[in-house]
Amino acid sequence: MEKDELLKMVRERGKAWMSEEYDPETVLQVKALLEGPENELIDAFYRDLEFGTGGLRGVMGAGTNRVNIYTIGMATQGLSNYLHKQFPNLDAPSAAIAYDNRNNSRLFAETAAGILTANGIDVWLFEDLRPTPELSFAIRHYGCQTGIVITASHNPKEYNGYKVYWDDGAQIIAPHDAGIIAEVRKIKSISQVNRDARPEKIKIIGEETDEIYIGKIREMSLSPSVVAKHSDLKIVFTPIHGASVKLVPMGLRSFGFTGVIPVPEQDVTDGNFPTVISPNPEEAAALEMALDKARETGAELVMGTDPDGDRVGIAVKDNRGELVLLNGNQTASLMLYYILKRWEELDRFRGNEFIAKTIVTSGLLSDIAARFGVECHDVLTGFKFIAGLIREYEGEKTFIAGFEESYGYLAGDLVRDKDAVISCALIAEATVWAKEMGRSLYDLLIDLYLEFGLYRETLVSVVRKGKSGAEEIAAMMDRFRNSPPETIAGSQVMTIHDYLKQKSFDSISHLRREIKLPKSNVLQFLLKDGSLISVRPSGTEPKIKFYISVRGNLERREDYPEACRQLDERAKNILSALGVS
């Protein structure tokens, strides 16, 4: 579309938002957009905010391509229509709704609740902000048919989002994702949204549910006697202004830990995230205040969660007593090894257990699972696919744990999404278990590398914002897909996995085989030296992500720093060869 045509179209769409159907504040915002810079008007109205396979996520503000009470309302109307089609025999389907600390989260939650009730759907609404995994728990606990959480996870403060869950407590997957999307797309105007809310159909979820949830988590402890001996372990915890401010400390106390140290400035729930640039525990800067608190207090463990409390980043002391941050693959490997080792010691294995990880999560987890005779399933990126496996194998196989390299972990099937509350409790327990043996988590990590090989992973995200950015990301994926490299950083490309075409290509035999996973816009290149490169656009942010996994041998503990340096150099050369800096 030519720019003149595009401008004409977005101006017409903007003027439609000046009608009496929209509140005065929104009308003023649209008026400012119409009178302001053209690029801002285009970004706000050039498309409808896409309701994807998980829901909505985007920048807040007025416009069809923004998160606001109207785009939230239209999505909720579509969801309501789908619920009635799926559950025609229920007089009143029910939904649970949670929200985090982001600006407007409470407003959006109440908006969704009102529209659901207007459509004859009962609502269980949390009284205050709660972590996403408790929403997953509440859906099953209260027998709801769906759930909504208002959050944009770790995105910058200007973002918010709307995630939809199904009756198993998991984010929607096929066929419900496509079914809901189809219903949402039928809602072309706010006039199609039933906004005659029925407040009497809303029930409030409070502390009684917290206590049940935490009680269930307490039952997951694997080493209660060890915790009792080391109950005073000093743990610094920060929710980074988010929704786990109460629940993670409650979970730790339920396990028996008494030495939880807060970061008071970050216990303040604030959607502007005043103490950090980004509320993302994957980024070192987000945990800096917690690290300072740990140095001040002599704490041995640091943990920080993202705003909606489903992911956790940690720091542990190395062999010099210095605090070092672990990445998601390292934490996942330690957590998995601890769980499986304790299952072995407690004689819990019955031969039908499995774990799951995403295709971009370290192969070290597969190696650890094999060591204990446990199946490891690879799934597409997104914890909903791990939850899908739990549902598929329910009653047939026992799910032990699931992992995403992006700091998301789950033990057991109490909930059906990644859970930082459970993870924090088990990470702390693994710390004292290692301590009881005279070791640290850092020592244990090197032990894993000595036994299974040294894995090093790097993630680089290339940000391209707006309409032009989306087009550039699409062009990059097309180039890698249609003109794939034969060698990367001097190493031959042996296999290409194309998850969009659901085919793998072997460059030696020239054979193709089917990938038995759903379609997804992901490419993987396996090199002769064992390196694995994964490329995919983010489904929630204006980014294209490059995951680099390299592997080498570690013969001696003292060689660890140099071995890491060499592998990091290999990863750097791969990124350079791909044109990524």
The single-letter code of the amino acid at 66 is R
- To the nearest 10°, report the CA torsion of 431, 435, 438, 440: 30
Q: Which of 80, 94, 105, 153 is catalytic?
A: 153
* pLDDT of 111: 98
153 catalytically annotated: yes
Give the three-state DSSP class for 73.
Answer: helix
Residue 1's pLDDT is 66
pTM, to two decimals? 0.95
Structural domains of the chain sorted by starting position, each given as residue range(s) with its CATH number in brackets: 47-205 (3.40.120.10), 219-347+409-450 (3.40.120.10), 454-577 (3.30.310)
Non-local (6+) Cβ contacts of 528 within 8 A are 491, 492, 493, 494
Q: Which residues contact 335 (CB under 8 A, 6 or more apart)?
A: 401, 403, 409, 411, 423, 426, 427, 430
pLDDT tens per residue across all 581 residues of the chain: 688 899 999 999 999 999 999 999 999 999 999 999 999 999 999 999 989 888 999 999 999 999 999 999 999 999 999 999 999 999 999 999 999 999 999 999 999 999 999 999 999 999 999 999 999 999 999 999 999 999 999 889 999 999 999 999 999 999 999 999 999 999 999 999 999 999 999 999 999 999 999 999 999 999 999 999 999 999 999 999 999 999 999 999 999 999 999 999 999 999 999 999 999 999 999 999 999 999 999 999 999 999 999 999 999 999 999 999 999 999 999 999 999 999 999 999 999 999 999 999 999 999 999 999 999 999 999 999 999 999 999 999 999 999 999 999 999 999 999 999 999 999 999 999 999 999 999 999 999 999 999 999 999 999 888 778 888 899 999 999 999 999 999 999 999 999 999 999 998 888 999 999 999 999 999 999 999 999 999 876 788 999 999 999 999 999 999 999 999 999 999 999 999 87
Question: In the structure encoding, which two tokens stand for residue 548, read together?
Answer: 């680099």
The whole-number pLDDT of residue 455 equals 97
Tokens of 202: 């809303």
Angle between helices 132-141 and 420-436 (to 10 degrees): 110
